[in-house]
Amino acid sequence: MNNPEDRKKELKEILSLHDNAYYRHGKPSISDREYDRLKDEFDSLNALDDPLGLFAGSEAGVIPKPQPVSPLVGDDRLDEFSSHQHLSPMLSLDNTYDEVEFFDFDKKLDKILKSESRSYVVEPKIDGVAVSLTYENGSLTMATTRGNGIEGDVITQNILHIKELPQQISDIGFPKLLEIRGEIFMEHDEFQRINQQRVEMGMDLYANPRNLTAGTVKLLDPRESRKRKLKIVLYGLGGYEPEGYFSSLSVFHNMIKDWGFPVVEFFSKVSSASEAWSKISELNELRDSYTYPTDGAVIKLDSLPLQELAGATAKAPRWAIAYKFESERQETILEDIQLQVGRTGAVTPVAYLKAVQLAGTTVSRASLHNADEIERKDIRIGDVVVVEKAGEIIPQVIEVVLTSRSQKSEAFIFPSNCPCCDTLLEKTDGESAWRCPNLLCSDQVKARLEYYAARGCMNIDSLGEAVIDQLVSRSFVKDLADLYFLTKEQLLSLEGFAEKSAENLLSAIEESKKQDLWRFICGLGIKHVGASASKDLAREFRSIDSIMKATDDELTSIDGVGSIMAKSIYSFFIDDGNRTMIEKLAKHGLNLSLNSTGDNTPLPFRGKTFVLTGTLVQFTRDEAGSQIERLGGKVTSSVSKKTTYLIAGPGAGSKLAKAQKLEIEILSEADFANMLMHDS
Ligand code: IVH
């Protein structure tokens, strides 16, 4: 593509796809470095149209107007959240990856600031999620995400549980109004704890702590975010009153530290660019000792008046730059590609690598995602490949070092048959995975059993991978129902079992018959049906029998069940094998309906969906929500055609307007309280 206009259009499209993946879905699709390269190309093509940089941002010394943020700054705002305008825009930082560029940054400032002598502050660049905290008269009134730089989503409820975060400062010297900027992050142990839970539940893993943090601050239910331990560190200054209150970043840093805010460690003030450069190298060395994930260092002018003089472009200040540490990449040999068959039959290729040290851990396996990815990157067994830790944890094969490829190498041919049972693989339109359609395929059976027994489903503790492997290989178990036929003699014939352990496993399996209905539904492993959909299905249909008989319309009338999920539920229950299995399970006395537990609470709110907005006085949101759920109703965060009632308190805004437009019944808090009195 030679035409710059076409290339610009293409780059804009590519960048906005990556922006969407990164900011809205918390799932970066390329590495930061690749992104920066594309972005630089885009910026230089734009510079051809605007050689004097007149439209690129403000003139030096002028604070940019909040308007010109290009869509390429990214935007994390979601419809479900209300947004709030920042007092001063939340900009991004220009990145540099080498020493020459770093010193160029200093030289550019030389030109702008002329002979002014200047100090810099240097600190780690935290790889978390940017946040802006607003304090009014010493009270924390709001926390917002960066959003589009001008306005961000209000996430206060999702971060209030961070115990290091002061919510009230009583010092009378505290400014009247203050926006403090910082980063929310998650420590490694917590990240691993949550991913471990997800492994047990057979759910997709988060690629790195940053993505998990981004997902956590945007959870719609603050009770869920409270279950994940977030941390915060603060380093930046937004808008404030009175004017002139702070004179420099180092003063600001010390003041907020004294007020009890968690500030960045390894903060240093230096008096020249070369001193800053040696600090950066020190930070790189110390990197592994931080409690937070970092991906570089940030160098900023210390003096606030000089910052103002330097100004900013629409995207980033001219008074600061991020030096990105070399990402954690290594070359190694791809020794083998193996295929794993999951519980839904999806066949996933896994790269087996010659072990290599990457960011402090030994890596010998990496994800290859799917057949298309192997073909696109032309990855071959025996190749030297570049492996990168995406963020922190799951290593990815980035590219092949073609110059090292052996002449004898052959393209990898993705098999047409299942590596486990030899059945012809199938691919559904729009899906990237090949699937094995044979429900009796033993790798699938094993994966389904593991999922069923996992903590997030039936929670059968002693039924782990090693036991399941043996049960399936010995043909003692071919489907979930067979678990309940197991005998002590069979277990005693397996490796590692003695009298006591066999009895323990049998009684754990027996106990599982009493598990909640939703756990059973979840454990069936129906494609797309996770824990929350299982809870919805259990609450609305109250028995497996009714779910089996439900029509497509009945299924999709439930909030949270869309047509794809409905189709998947339908095809699961239409399958003869699955029907027979459910019959067998019922005969074994599993808890397949809510009534069988003796739970006969009347459910007057059944099938009704509530949205809460504005300020409630009599109830907290949580209380109102649990009352609704207790009576069989459901609470969602956004108003749609499926909403039955909007409970609107004072201060209700866009949700109220939307409900009025959709002619949804609007209740005051008092109406709701009345309803509760009559219905409970
Ligand atoms: S200063 C005008 N200091 O990195 C922006 N940012 O890639 C001034 N970040 O938007 C930001 N650690 O969210 C600053 N020590 C640090 C930082 C830091 C992480 C984030 C921040 C910024 C992003 C740019």
Which domain-ending residue is among 406, 428, 450? 428
Nearest atom within ligand 1 for CA of residue 92: 10
Q: Is 9 a member of any domain?
A: no
Rounded Cα distance, 158 and 162, in Å: 9
User: What pLDDT shows up at residue 47?
Assistant: 66
Which tens digit of pLDDT belongs to each residue from 271-292? 999 999 999 999 988 877 788 8
Q: Are residues 273 and 335 in the same domain?
A: no
Q: What would the two tokens of residue 21 be?
A: 């993946």
Q: Is 25 a member of any domain?
A: no
Residues 210 and 127 sit within 8 Å (Cβ to Cβ): yes
Q: Is 68 a member of any domain?
A: yes
Nearest atom within ligand 1 for CA of residue 128: 19
Q: Are residues 334 and 319 in the same domain?
A: no
Give the β-pairing of 665-667 and 645-648: parallel
Mean pLDDT estimate for the chain: 86
Task: Give the pLDDT band (50/70/90) at residue 57.
Answer: very low
Q: Is 144 a member of any domain?
A: yes
Residue whose CA lies nearest to ligand 1 atom number 15? 125
User: What pLDDT shows up at residue 71?
Assistant: 42
| Selection from 612, 642, 639, 648 nearest residue 628 by Cα | 612
Q: Are residues 489 and 566 in the same domain?
A: yes
Which domain-ending residue is among 303, 324, 345? 324
Question: What value does the mean pLDDT take over residues 253-268?
Answer: 95
Say yes or no to pLDDT of 553 above 60.
Answer: yes
Q: For residue 290, with 0-12 CB atoms within 10 Å meaning exposed, 13-18 middle and 19 or more buried, which class applies?
A: middle
**Which H or E run contains 399?**
strand 395-400
Looking at this protein, which amino acid is placed at residue 484? Y
Which tens digit of pLDDT belongs to each residue from 436-492? 999 889 999 999 999 999 988 999 989 999 999 999 999 999 999 999 999 999 999
Question: What value does the mean pLDDT take over residues 72-92?
Answer: 86
Nearest atom within ligand 1 for CA of residue 93: 24
Question: What value does the mean pLDDT take over residues 422-448?
Answer: 91
Say yes or no to pLDDT of 596 above 50.
Answer: no
Here the CATH number for the domain that contains residue 104 is 3.30.470.30
Which domain-ending residue is among 536, 553, 587? 587
Identify the residue with better confidence: 41 or 261: 261
**Which H or E run contains 499?**
helix 499-511
User: What pLDDT shows up at residue 277?
Assistant: 94
Residue 343 Cα, ligand 1 centroid: separation in angstroms?
41
Which tens digit of pLDDT belongs to each residue from 288-317? 778 888 889 999 999 999 999 999 987 899
Helices 563-574, 576-587: axis angle to 10 degrees equals: 70
* DSSP output for 11-77: HHHHHHHHHIIIIITS--SS-HHHHHHHHHHHHHHHHHH-TT-TTSBPPTTSPPPSS---GGG----
Here the CATH number for the domain that contains residue 355 is 2.40.50.140
Task: Give the pLDDT band (50/70/90) at residue 66.
Answer: very low
Domain with 662 in it? 609-679
* Residues 6 or more apart whose Cβ sits within 8 Å of residue 120: 269, 270, 271, 272, 273, 275, 276, 299, 300, 301, 302
Q: For residue 609, with 0-12 CB atoms within 10 Å meaning exposed, 13-18 middle and 19 or more buried, which class applies?
A: buried
**Half-sphere exposure (CA, 13 Å, Cβ side) for 527?**
18
Identify the residue with better confidence: 74 or 88: 88
Number of domains in the chain: 4
Say yes or no to pLDDT of 251 above 50.
Answer: yes
Q: Are residues 184 and 263 in the same domain?
A: yes
Q: Is 269 a member of any domain?
A: yes
Please count the residues of the chain: 680
DSSP state of 154: B
Q: Are residues 206 and 283 in the same domain?
A: yes
Q: Are residues 409 and 450 in the same domain?
A: no
Q: Are residues 510 and 629 in the same domain?
A: no
User: What pLDDT shows up at residue 638?
Assistant: 84
Q: Is 102 a member of any domain?
A: yes
Which tens digit of pLDDT belongs to each residue from 152-202? 999 999 999 999 999 999 999 999 999 999 999 998 788 878 877 776 666
- Residue 432, Ramachandran bin (φ over 0: left; ψ between -120 and 50: alpha; else beta): alpha
pLDDT above 70 covers what percent of the chain?
Answer: 89
Say yes or no to pLDDT of 78 above 60.
Answer: yes
Residue 610: C-alpha distances to residues 157, 533, 646 (Å): 19, 17, 6
Residue whose CA lies nearest to ligand 1 atom number 16? 125
What is the torsional sign of CA 327, 331, 332, 336? positive
Residues 204 and 25 sit within 8 Å (Cβ to Cβ): no
Task: Give the pLDDT band (50/70/90) at residue 398.
Answer: confident
Question: What value does the mean pLDDT take over residues 80-93?
Answer: 92
Q: 153-171 b/e with 16+ CB inside 10 Å = b? A: bbbebbbeebeebbeebee
Say yes or no to pLDDT of 70 above 80.
Answer: no
Nearest atom within ligand 1 for CA of residue 123: 15
Q: Identify which of 95, 126, 253, 307 to mutate to test ligand 1's pocket (most ligand atoms within 8 A of the CB).
A: 126
User: What pLDDT shows up at residue 509?
Assistant: 97
Give the β-pairing of 346-358 and 361-367: antiparallel
Q: Are residues 171 and 189 in the same domain?
A: yes
User: What pLDDT shows up at residue 432?
Assistant: 79
Here the CATH number for the domain that contains residue 534 is 1.10.150.20
Residue 24 Cα, ligand 1 centroid: separation in angstroms?
19
Q: Identify which of 76, 298, 313 to mutate to test ligand 1's pocket (most ligand atoms within 8 A of the CB).
A: 298
Q: Are residues 574 and 656 in the same domain?
A: no
User: What pLDDT shows up at residue 39?
Assistant: 79
Residue whose CA lies nearest to ligand 1 atom number 7? 93
* DSSP output for 86-115: -SS------EE-SHHHHHHHHHHHHHHHTT
Q: Is 38 a member of any domain?
A: no
Q: Are residues 556 and 512 in the same domain?
A: yes
User: What pLDDT shows up at residue 393?
Assistant: 59
- Ligand 1 binding residues, C-beta < 6 A: 91-93, 123, 125-126, 130, 183, 235-236, 264, 298, 317, 320, 322
Here the CATH number for the domain that contains residue 624 is 3.40.50.10190
Q: Are residues 646 and 673 in the same domain?
A: yes
Residue 92 Cα, ligand 1 centroid: separation in angstroms?
7
Task: Give the pLDDT band (50/70/90) at residue 73.
Answer: low
Task: Give the pLDDT band (50/70/90) at residue 360.
Answer: low
Question: What value does the mean pLDDT take over residues 259-282?
Answer: 94
Task: Give the pLDDT band (50/70/90) at residue 61.
Answer: very low
Q: Is 37 a member of any domain?
A: no
Q: Which residue has the tokens 């230096």?
A: 270
Q: Are residues 201 and 301 in the same domain?
A: yes
Question: What value does the mean pLDDT take over residues 245-271?
Answer: 96
| Residues identified as active-site | 125
